[in-house]
Amino acid sequence: MRFYEYESKALFARHGLPLGHSGVADSAVHAREIAHQIGRPVVLKSQVLSGGRMKAGAVKFADTPDEAAQIYDEIFPIIVGGQKARSILVEEKSPIAQEYYVGVTWDGRRKLPVLIFSDMGGIDIEDAAEQHPDHVSKTHFSTILPVSPRIAKEAISATGVTGGALNKLTPIVSKLIDIFLEYDLTLAEINPLVRLEDGRFVVLDGHVDMEAEARDQHKKLLDELGIGPEETRQARPPTDFEIRGAEVDASDHRGVAGNVVEFDGDLGLIIGAGGGSLTLFDAVRSHGGKPANYCEIGGNPSVNKTCELTKLVLSKPGVEKIAVMMNVVSNTRVDIVARGVIKGCIEAGKDPSETIAIFRIPGAWEEEGFKILAKHKVDYCDRSVSMYDAAGRAVAKMKSA
Amino acid sequence: MPGLFIDVKVTDKAAKDSAVVAKLAEVCPVDIFEQEDSGALRIVEANLDECVLCDLCISAAPSNSVEIVKLYE
Amino acid sequence: MSILINSETTFIVQGITGREAVNLTRENLDYGAKIVGGVTPGRAGRDVYGVQVYDCVRDITAKTRVDGSVVCVPPRFTRDAVFEALENGIKLIVVVTERIPRKQVAQMVELANLRGARIIGPNCLGIISPGEAKMGGVGGPAANTKTAYTKGSIGIMSRSGGMTTEIASTLTAAGMGQSTAVSIGGDAIIGTSYAELMPLFEADPQTQAIAIYSEPGGRMEAELAEWTQENNSRLPIVAFMAGRFMDEMPGMRFGHAGTIVEGKADTTAEKIKRMTEAGIAVAERISDIPKMLQERIGEAK
């Protein structure tokens, strides 16, 4: 879950990382006020959950408060990477002597956190690592030993930084490691961290990602930063359809019937589970089908929950048919899912035999499930029909309809 | 609304025996049986279709007093 | 032979009185597993399908040989449960629990490495050596498990628990049995990756080829590709790659916690390229896997 720059900086500030004077503006008047208070040239930066702000023209400088107000109006409407600006950060502009990069993230192969440091900040760190490997260090560290400043010192020193800069950078970098571990972050990045001409070190831009699984543990921090539980912080904001899908899933603790993502096609999908949904979504598309949605059912959801999800999918304009498909199931029961989708069709005022294009869920309790499907004249198949071919049958029905 | 897939039949005798009803309410994992203040049985119709065919109710009550009917058979 | 577990493997279930754990215990016993005890603090003296429940892992390891543990406790207790198993000398730990923050997973793995132990998972359904034993929920009830899994020569590794069984069922239908199938887990950090299981399959005379299920996110497929090239592996590998649609949707999470496209290396296109270059065959469909394996086993002989 990505933080906005101003939220990342608020987190850094709590831990004493050095930051420039700044304020978050939500109007041109407000931007002028903040620039006036700062009392020197400022930079205005669009607050979006996406990189590429500079390229999009959403970061600009202003010498006077009036100019800041004017630039606010100019950059606020700019869409960056598909994202609208939430607000504009107005921050003091300072003459820079040297830029550094500091990042902490996880290395899934080594299964350890890794500190990445470079004395070539401000640029893309992957490019820097390729072109100037001696200026980029990667230092893995333990998650069970206490964090010690020597990790930061070694990482900085490995890029050739020494003297006063080494000793001033070490505590800043070490604090970033503390923040990374304390808040279950998946990325804590400062790019750039700068030495100003007057010798001070300042965090110019920061980016923090928190692990979604850890949100409950850090509820207090999130509340204080104003990040509500409804904010998914995915690559795009959730649609109403997706929000209703999350409500269906939350309404009943029995099993999963959710993780709904909306697409603009016409074939409704009731699919599962984690890996099976990915496989089936690909299969529908490779047959030329146009899914109306992605979803996941698993963990043996109740009849009611599957029924509600079915009704939700069928409520989407243009969706007349659904395909109900899973991999061979072990703990989810075929009969329970069959009951849920048939009931959902009926409650939506539709005929299950017309609406369910295909039912392909083999496995636990399939004999019982197949009896229910036969009774309601639903087209179903067992494991002898592959996931791919089942998807093909559903798509063929859409084309002939 | 009655169930689309499942119906439950309980003999009058069992439905009025508050000890049997208490047991039914306790064993059912999907809360199909409820005991009213009078001790009598109330079938929660909204939960009928959630029945997982575990047969715990059948073994909890005197033999032949509870029957689970699969409406799709 | 098989890898990781066989009919002699003894194990315990931590969190044995929970709803999922009770099911899993029943299913494993029915399949012939040797479960030598269960742990739920405060519930000592109870039993679950004849398996004695204890307060501490130590109470079991003091009395009998314990080769492994299935950890099936809520996310906020999982790290402690795994530490308890490790500190009592258990060497194979299957972590079923999902939604554990990765810092805690990293801590479990770090301690396991220090203790010379292996973790499978988290967020997995465990291990099955068909006809020998299973450890975890893989395959479900024993009768369903026997329909999908048969003893044979194909090793399976999968980031999806459900797809482990789909692949096994497809192989069984084609007359190809399995040596051991491992649901390795769907998280960004897991105890044992494809490449880390390869030496075990390589050393197992029963195993003649490998089928894997993979998806976007992480570097595990690249690691496998490197391993097979560097070690001149005798085992042909056929991989199925799901989630191809995700290449067009960076930053969106689908399916498992570890399944997200954040950079080019996470995409299916890049993973397919890496694996193909390393001689790993990539199947378009699950139903293509048996034939592709047969061709490659034929070539290897």
Residue C68's pLDDT is: 98
Q: What is the pLDDT of residues A58-86, one digit of tens each?
A: 999 999 999 999 999 999 999 998 889 99
Q: What is the pLDDT of residues A191-223, one digit of tens each?
A: 999 999 999 999 999 999 999 889 999 999 999
**Chain A: residue whose CA lies nearest to B5:** A339
Residue A398's pLDDT is: 93
Which CATH number applies to B6-70?
3.30.70.20
Chain A residue numbers with beta carbons less than 8 Å from the beta carbon of B73 are: 371, 375
Q: What would the two tokens of residue C288 be?
A: 């293509």
A249 — pLDDT class (breaks 50, 70, 90): very high
Is the separation of the CB atoms in C140 and C236 below 8 Å?
A: no
Distance CA A387, CA A284 (A): 10
Judged by phi (left if over 0) then psi (alpha if -120 to 50, else beta), residue C94 lies in beta
Interface contact A372-B50, CB threshold 8 A:
no
**Chain B: residue whose CA lies nearest to A300:** B52
Best mutation site among A339, A341, A380 for testing chain B: the one with the most B CBs within 10 Å? A339
Interface contact B72-A372, CB threshold 8 A:
yes
Q: Is the pLDDT of residue C182 over 80?
A: yes
Interface contact B52-A336, CB threshold 8 A:
yes
- A123: which residues sit within 8 A by CB, 6+ positions away? A101
Chain A residue numbers with beta carbons less than 8 Å from the beta carbon of B4 are: 339, 342-343, 346
Phi and psi torsions of A353, nearest 5°: -70, -25
Chain A residue numbers with beta carbons less than 8 Å from the beta carbon of C110 are: 111-112, 142-144
Which CATH number applies to A21-93?
3.30.1490.20
Interface contact B73-A339, CB threshold 8 A:
no
Interface contact C242-A278, CB threshold 8 A:
yes
Residue C269's pLDDT is: 96
Task: Report the sign of the C-alpha dihedral through residues C261, C266, C270, C276, in that order.
Answer: negative
Which among C102, C161, C243 is the nearest to A278, CB-wise?
C243
Which among A261, A275, A388 is the nearest to C162, CB-wise?
A275
Do A1-19+95-233 and A240-400 share a fold?
A: no
Cβ atoms within 10 Å of C168's Cβ, excluding its own: 29
Min Cα–Cα distance to chain A from B45, Å: 13
How far is residue C52 from each of residues A170, C21, C23, C49, C126, measured CA to CA in Å? Answer: 53, 14, 15, 9, 22
Distance CA C201, CA C181 (A): 11
Best mutation site among B45, B72, B73 for testing chain A: the one with the most A CBs within 10 Å? B72
DSSP string, A124-177: -HHHHHHH-GGGEEEEE--SSSPP-HHHHHHHHHTTT--HHHHHHHHHHHHHHH
| Residue appearing with tokens 């990040």 | A227
Interface contact C99-A363, CB threshold 8 A:
no
A238 — pLDDT class (breaks 50, 70, 90): confident
C296 — pLDDT class (breaks 50, 70, 90): very high
Domain spans in chain B, listed from the N-terminal domain onward: 6-70
Judged by phi (left if over 0) then psi (alpha if -120 to 50, else beta), residue A279 lies in alpha
How do beta strands A293-298 and A256-262 pair?
Answer: antiparallel
Residue A232's pLDDT is: 81
Interface contact A276-C162, CB threshold 8 A:
yes
Using DSSP, state whether C21 is helix, strand or coil: helix
Interface contact A303-B52, CB threshold 8 A:
no
Q: State the greatest distance between any 2 C-alpha atoms of chain B, in Å, as a whole number.
A: 35
Interface contact A384-C213, CB threshold 8 A:
no
Distance CA C137, CA C161 (A): 9
Best mutation site among A259, A328, A367, A382 for testing chain C: the one with the most C CBs within 10 Å? A328
Is the separation of the CB atoms in A265 and A291 below 8 Å?
A: yes
Mean pLDDT of C125-141: 96
Interface contact B4-A346, CB threshold 8 A:
yes
Q: Is the pLDDT of residue A401 over 80?
A: no
Which among A111, A296, A388 is the nearest to C255, CB-wise?
A296
**Chain B: residue whose CA lies nearest to A347:** B4
How far is residue B63 from each of residues A266, B34, C56, measured CA to CA in Å? Answer: 51, 20, 42
Q: Environment class of residue C128 by beta-carbon count within 10 Å: exposed (0-12), middle (13-18) or buried (19+)?
A: buried
How far is residue C195 from each of residues B70, C203, C240, C270, measured CA to CA in Å? Answer: 49, 13, 16, 18
Q: What would the two tokens of residue A102 be?
A: 């500091």
Distance CA C146, CA C128 (A): 11
Residue C20's pLDDT is: 84
Chain C residue numbers with beta carbons less than 8 Å from the beta carbon of A384 are: 173
**Chain C: residue whose CA lies nearest to A50:** C251
Chain C residue numbers with beta carbons less than 8 Å from the beta carbon of A181 are: 103
Is the separation of the CB atoms in B5 and B71 below 8 Å?
A: yes
Cβ atoms within 10 Å of C8's Cβ, excluding its own: 10
Min Cα–Cα distance to chain A from C197, Å: 13
Q: Which of A358, A306, A309, A308 is nearest to A337 (CA)?
A: A306
Interface contact C101-A389, CB threshold 8 A:
no
Share of chain A above pLDDT 90, in %: 88
| Active site amino acids of C | 256
- C232: which residues sit within 8 A by CB, 6+ positions away? none
Angle between helices C289-300 and C161-173 (to 10 degrees): 70
In a domain, C3, yes or no: no
Residue C257's pLDDT is: 83
Best mutation site among A303, A305, A335, A343 for testing chain B: the one with the most B CBs within 10 Å? A303
Which CATH number applies to A1-19+95-233?
3.30.470.20
Chain B residue numbers with beta carbons less than 8 Å from the beta carbon of A339 are: 4-5, 49
Residue C214's pLDDT is: 96
Distance CA A372, CA B50 (A): 14
Min Cα–Cα distance to chain A from C63, Å: 30
Q: What would the two tokens of residue A164 be?
A: 């006063």
**Chain A: residue whose CA lies nearest to C240:** A279
Touching partners of C (3+ C-beta pairs < 8 Å): A
Interface contact C257-A213, CB threshold 8 A:
yes
Strand stretches in A211-275, DSSP E: 256-262, 267-272
What is the H or E stretch that residue C64 is in?
none
Min Cα–Cα distance to chain B from A375, Å: 6
Specify the pTM: 0.94
Domain that holds residue C252: 10-300
Q: Which CATH class is domain A240-400?
A: alpha beta
Residue B19's pLDDT is: 95
Min Cα–Cα distance to chain B from A353, Å: 15
In a domain, C5, yes or no: no
Q: What would the two tokens of residue A377 be?
A: 């004249």
Range in A169-173, A227-231, A329-333, C225-229 the model is least confident about = A227-231
Interface contact B52-A304, CB threshold 8 A:
no
Q: What is the ipTM of this complex?
A: 0.96
Range in A47-56, A274-283, C107-116 the model is least confident about = A47-56
How do beta strands A22-25 and C126-129 pair?
Answer: unpaired
Whether the bond into B2 is cis, omega within 30 of 0: no
Chain A residue numbers with beta carbons less than 8 Å from the beta carbon of B52 are: 333, 336
Distance CA C102, CA A111 (A): 9
User: Sheet holding A267-272: strands in order across?
Assistant: A267-272, A321-326, A356-360
Min Cα–Cα distance to chain A from B37, Å: 27
**Per-chain mean pLDDT for chain C:** 96
Q: Environment class of residue A372 by beta-carbon count within 10 Å: exposed (0-12), middle (13-18) or buried (19+)?
A: buried
Q: How many domains in chain C?
A: 1
Cβ atoms within 10 Å of C142's Cβ, excluding its own: 17
Residue B11's pLDDT is: 96
Interface contact A302-B73, CB threshold 8 A:
no
Which among C105, C162, C223 is the nearest to A109, CB-wise?
C223
**Per-chain mean pLDDT for chain A:** 95
Interface contact A371-B70, CB threshold 8 A:
yes
* A64 close contact with C: CB closer than 8 A: no
- C51: which residues sit within 8 A by CB, 6+ positions away? C13, C16, C25, C29, C35, C36, C37, C38
Q: Is the pLDDT of residue C301 over 70?
A: no
Q: What would the two tokens of residue A90 be?
A: 């107005």
Q: Return the CATH number at C106.
A: 3.40.50.261
Range in A142-151, A234-243, C54-63, C76-85 the model is least confident about = A234-243
Chain C residue numbers with beta carbons less than 8 Å from the beta carbon of A267 are: none
* A239 close contact with C: CB closer than 8 A: no
Distance CA C124, CA A239 (A): 31
- The identity of residue A391, as a single letter, is A
Q: What is the pLDDT of residues A94-131, one digit of tens each?
A: 899 999 999 999 999 999 999 999 999 877 888 888 89
Interface contact B49-A346, CB threshold 8 A:
no
Pairs of residues, one from chain A and one from chain C, whose beta carbons lie less than 8 Å apart = 167
* A367 close contact with C: CB closer than 8 A: no
Q: Is the pLDDT of residue C71 over 80?
A: yes
Mean pLDDT of A376-390: 97
How far is residue C33 from each of residues A258, C8, C171, measured CA to CA in Å? Answer: 34, 8, 23
Best mutation site among A114, A116, A278 for testing chain C: the one with the most C CBs within 10 Å? A278
